[in-house]
Amino acid sequence: MPLQKGDFVLVDYVMKVKDTNEVIDLTVEEVAKKEKVYREDGIYEPALVILGEGWILKGVEEELYKMDVGESKVIEVPPDKAFGERDPSKVKIVNARDLTKRGITPRVGARVELDDGVAIIRRAEGGRVVLDYNHPLAGRTIVCEVKVVKKVEDVKEKVRELVHARIKRVDKEKFKIDVSSDGILTIEIPPEAFTYEGLQYAKRGIALDVARYVPGISAVKFVEVYEVRRAKAEQGEKKSPKAEEAKASQQEK
């Protein structure tokens, strides 16, 4: 049965710029190594996509609706359904001194964050700098090879995937998830996540995601269990007064 709006699906994909064959994003480790874009700190696994929510390029999402679990497809995505067409009005010329006053050294190719947003420096000469506020891939056709790996239907598993989307570097199976009959969702955070950078923000994001994408949940509760371990010396048995006297007597001898 073809996929529908609101479905949770896990997909593998490889995205390339059509005219240069440059890899811009992928989820498959073997391909990353083959294309020489592999990173030791990279995360290579099927990505969660909630259909209808813009979690993947529009042109790819439109084709996913026509696919079934296990199906693969190569999709050519035109600019208007990828990163947009180039907009000449988003290219601006500024005085180089305006950038240096902000502590920015104009270098061609550098990305800079200014009042109007993030721009790429296209040219810097004669005291003038050309800033391009278009997306770096605007105007480019993207080729995406995509495979629908799994459709997630169980409520607990949907929550697990939402948690994993926010806390990537902790094994998702280590999160204990329970939903009570009155709709209270309990997520037990594993010790591996206690020192996760931005954990509090992640928890808030997870709660908002659950409220938006998982119907029937009335509250979200996070539980962190810290096991208390004491050294044996701290738990040592108290010695009797007679034992202490005997020990003192032996020391005097």
| C-alpha to C-alpha distance for 42 and 9, rounded to whole angstroms | 21
Q: What class is the 88-132 domain? A: mainly beta
Task: Give the pLDDT confidence of 161-209 residue by residue, as tens digits.
Answer: 999 999 999 999 999 999 999 999 999 999 999 999 999 999 999 999 9
Alpha-carbon torsion angle 168, 174, 175, 181, nearest 10? 140
Burial of 179 (C-beta count, 10 Å sphere; 0-12/13-18/19+): middle
Q: Do 1-84+138-152 and 154-231 come out as alike in CATH topology?
A: no
Helix axes 199-213, 155-166, angle to 10 degrees: 140
* All residues at 6 or more sequence positions from 82 whose CB lies less than 8 Å from its CB, including other chains: 57, 58, 59, 137, 140, 141, 142
Average pLDDT over residues 1-8: 91
Model pTM score: 0.83
pLDDT score, position 230: 80
Task: Give the pLDDT confidence of 206-231 residue by residue, as tens digits.
Answer: 999 999 999 999 999 999 999 888 87
pLDDT score, position 238: 56
117: left (phi over 0), alpha (psi -120 to 50) or beta: left
- For the four alpha carbons of 168, 46, 145 and 80, in that order, the dihedral sign comes to negative
| C-alpha to C-alpha distance for 150 and 163, rounded to whole angstroms | 17
Q: Give me the residue spans of the domains in the chain.
A: 1-84+138-152, 88-132, 154-231
pLDDT score, position 247: 54
> Which CATH code of 3.40.50.2000, 3.10.20.440, 3.50.50.60, 3.30.70.2210 fits the domain covering 154-231?
3.30.70.2210
| C-alpha to C-alpha distance for 40 and 6, rounded to whole angstroms | 33
Task: Give the pLDDT confidence of 71-123 residue by residue, as tens digits.
Answer: 999 999 999 999 999 999 999 999 999 999 999 999 999 999 998 899 999 99
CATH annotation of 1-84+138-152: 3.10.50.40
Q: Give the pairing of strands 117-125 and 128-132.
A: antiparallel
Q: Is residue 246 scored above 70 in pLDDT?
A: no
Task: Give the pLDDT confidence of 130-153 residue by residue, as tens digits.
Answer: 999 999 999 999 999 999 999 999
